[in-house]
Amino acid sequence: MRGIIFATAVSLACASIAQAQDVEAQYEPAMPLPAAPPANNGGIFQPSNGYTGLYEGTRAHRVGDLVTILLIERTVTSKSVQSETDRSGSVALFPPLTGPFAFLSPSDLKASGRGSFNGEGSAGQSSSLATSLAVTIVDVRPNGTALVQGEKRMLLSQGDEWVRFSGIIRLADVDAENTVLSSRVADAYVEYSGKGSLQRSSRPGWLTRFFSIISPF
């Protein structure tokens, strides 16, 4: 029995270490697609010199362009459950008036039972995130939408933190400053996490997690 407990504790410790190390995924910035060199039409201003179209503007719309996502997220969730049951039953037999069981009284052949349950539980969670993150357009689709992704990493003295973001935006929602609200992003994926002493202090130790698993209460 001691060997099983020790092996389980060691496996939980190894799993926590592996989970802490599996956070190194990084987004590779998307490079803009190489454009074919335009032909010289004999004009004074040539497109190859860096001029843009009259109606094109400077809004991000190509692969490799940068878009700033304004992350303003706030979620509040709550849930409560209440259950109550009550059950009772009884049975009674009347003994015969004659015969070998005539000496029994009606109270001797009576049984009853009752059971009740009352349970209540509640849970709540709230989170908020307000920041801005520059992401890269990695794919432009024919219907006017684009896939963007990016991350911001901060190396601090007490640990590392990062914000990762990916989602689908409408190019029409990109304003003159190349910003888009996070509420207008479809299939948004936001990850705000980190590692280091601050992150470890917010998680229970492996021995506490072990006893919480085997505890019947």
pLDDT in tens, 94-134: 666 666 666 666 665 677 778 788 888 888 878 788 889 99
pTM of the model: 0.56
Share of the chain above pLDDT 70, in %: 55
Q: Which residue has the higher pLDDT, 21 or 114?
A: 114
Partners of 150 in the β-ladder: 165
Report whether 129 contacts 161 (CB < 8 A): no
- Distance set, CA 105 to CA 99, 112, 155 (Å): 13, 16, 85
Give the C-alpha separation, 22 to 161, whole Å: 14
Q: CA angle 55-183-162, nearest 5°? A: 100
Task: Write the CB contacts of 157 (distance below 8 Å, at least 6 apart in sequence).
Answer: none
pLDDT in the model for residue 17: 43
Report how far Cα 188 is from the mean position of its chain's Cα atoms. 11
- Asked if residue 75 has pLDDT above 90, the reply is no
